[in-house]
Chain A
Amino acid sequence: MQATPHPLPSPTPLAPPRAGEFDARIVSNEPVNAEYRLMTVEVPDGAAEARPGQFFQILCPHSGALQPFFRRPMSIYRIDPAAGQLSFLYKVTGTGTRTMAELEPDATINLFGPLGNGFTLPEDGAPIVLLGRGVGLATMAPLVPFARKAGHAVTAILSARTPELVMSEAEFVDAGANVLAVTDSQGTSAVENVEDMLHGLHAEGRLGALYVCGSNRLMLAAQRVARRLGLFGEAALEQQMACGVGMCFCCVRPFRQGDEIVHRRVCSEGPVFPLLEALEW
């Protein structure tokens, strides 16, 4: 098959807003299922201009014996510049997210951001496919309205353990994505099947660029497909962070750069990276 590579996107036309530390009023903080919660906050002018793929460092409060020390990096789930609001979809797992879950509407929470580099889109209006699993879906969600606004058709493959755990399907659909859900329980989430789906989408003219987040196996599958078809793609990655701005070098991951393996900081050089340069973890 003849590969038709899409041109690399030009540098982001709008510089992301300068990062700042501020107190935000909590509008709502509700469970969305047994594991995840959605927090919406009011932010000052500018902060709501954050780009999809960027993140905030959230200062989780102390609560009794739970005393988180570091901020918790969270990617932005929903960006609403008109209302001056941002939302974060988070899984309640440890010290920080547990105290975050206790916060009530009208309480304030200290945020630092927006940080990192967001997603970029291909220049040529190519149709894009998003591939995400688990909390990776939260990172992908704001890319849908962003890409639709820029004139790209969007297909989202959402992967989860069971159909009940496919989060945000409505969020993706409402924003204008064609959603394909794959699950472990239905036996549709295996990487071979996902790769077949991607090839099918390509044959239908729906796959011109590929974005992935939240699963090592899906990232490797996306890389194989992108390499085979010569596609532009990006991967949003995670790593434990401390500072969030590139000073501490805690959050490095290995990347392929020519013949070399190099370390890059996920916070300041990412968290969105060229798909083919990211190495598995």
Chain B
Amino acid sequence: MVDLSVDCGGIRLANPVMPASGTFASELADIIELQRLGAFVTKTVTPGKRQGNPTPRVSEVPGGMLNSIGIPSKGVDAFIDETIPLYADYDVPLVVSISADTPDGFADICRRVSVPGVAAVEVNISCPNIEDDGRAFAMRPETTLAVMRKLRQATDLPLWAKLTPNTGEIPAVAQAAEEGGADALVVANTILAMSVDIRTRRASLGRVMGGLSGPAIKPIILRMAYQCVRAVQIPVIGCGGIMTAADALEYLIVGCRAVQVGTATFVHPGAMLTVIDGLEDYCRQNGIDRIADLTGTLSAEAHDASLEWEAIA
């Protein structure tokens, strides 16, 4: 029996697999066994109602998706009254994702969602779709530190900072989040991107630019997760392009404590469960009793070219 449980940013998870914010809702309960997930992560909630961005909100690219949803939200009051109770009957930690326009706004909504039934707060300081040209707090260390300090004062719950891959200085942003009081980092949100329909010469998305997710971005986000692992002491949760257990294993091996699966669920609604099963199989086949022991086991041994050629031949 493999022990899949992990300690992750102030909470204990039965296994290291959870949904990425925005790719999960209670509707999934009709389709998969939600009780098997390591945690639930809600779609980002904002203080007030938001309509979201104009359509088209989604476009397909090779190996992934572009989206510009723009965080439609029913507001924090309705969220507390209607959404949080939906998960009360599950024995799975509930992580609430929040966003706001200002550090004070972030602190206020953080305080308000710190209610019984919520295990941790994920702070979305990285959405590329609500600020001009993808500007977000996590683009720079200074703004990250400022907002995280406000958030830290607002709650006793574990705080997970979701970072953006659109910054050129992710290790410094990761350190700023840690210094500001984050209990874990989620690496990362989507990559600011665009595509054009050459027949109409219009941008594929209604808002022109949007966030790229899916397997196309995995090598980039994996690199960033690795950089963050080396930059901070707090756990890093890998999030970017995980479609299979093999993808999740790469994140764990470079040092992530847990993973979030997002876009994959849109293609295969059971993707998270397949990843959990695959992690267990890998541990069993490789004599690993505790999956936590796999984290950060990236080998520094010299390459054996013959073996590697065999693997891709």
Query: Residues of A with Cβ closer than 8 Å to B?
Result: 18-21, 59, 67-71, 95, 112, 239-253, 263, 268
A69/B267 in contact, CB under 8 A: yes
* Chain A nearest Cβ from B22, distance in angstroms: 7
What residues on B are CB-neighbors of A263 within 8 Å? 51-52, 72
B58/A247 in contact, CB under 8 A: no
What residues on B are CB-neighbors of A253 within 8 Å? 55
Among A245, A246, A248, contact of B58 (Cβ-Cβ < 8 Å): A248
Instruction: State the CA gap A146–B43 with chains docked (Å).
Output: 38
Residue B2 at the A interface, CB < 8 A? no
Stretch at the interface among B27-35, B147-155, B287-295: B27-35
With both beta carbons as reference points, the residue of chain A lying nearest to B72 in the complex is identified as A249
What residues on A are CB-neighbors of B28 within 8 Å? 245, 247
Among A68, A95, A245, contact of B269 (Cβ-Cβ < 8 Å): A245
Instruction: State the CA gap A9–B64 with chains docked (Å).
Output: 41
Among B55, B61, B65, B67, which residue has the most Cβ atoms of chain A within 10 A?
A: B55
Query: Residues of B with Cβ closer than 8 Å to A?
Result: 22-25, 27-28, 30-31, 43, 51-52, 55-65, 67, 69, 72, 214, 265-270
With both beta carbons as reference points, the residue of chain A lying nearest to B25 in the complex is identified as A247
Instruction: State the CA gap A225–B91 with chains docked (Å).
Output: 52
B52/A249 in contact, CB under 8 A: yes
A246/B25 in contact, CB under 8 A: yes
Interface of A is mostly: loop
A249/B267 in contact, CB under 8 A: no
B269/A248 in contact, CB under 8 A: no
Instruction: State the CA gap A268–B294 with chains docked (Å).
Output: 39
What residues on A are CB-neighbors of B30 within 8 Å? 18-19, 245
Among B51, B63, B69, contact of A248 (Cβ-Cβ < 8 Å): B69
B266/A243 in contact, CB under 8 A: yes
- In order of increasing CB-CB distance, the 7 nearest A-B pairs are A250-B58, A243-B266, A246-B27, A247-B25, A250-B57, A242-B266, A69-B60
Among B43, B63, B269, contact of A67 (Cβ-Cβ < 8 Å): B63
Contacts known (A21-B269, A69-B61); A247 close to B24, Cβ less than 8 A: yes
Instruction: State the CA gap A268–B72 with chains docked (Å).
Output: 16
Instruction: State the CA gap A112–B214 with chains docked (Å).
Output: 20
Instruction: State the CA gap A241–B267 with chains docked (Å).
Output: 11
Among A59, A70, A245, contact of B31 (Cβ-Cβ < 8 Å): A245
A19/B31 in contact, CB under 8 A: yes
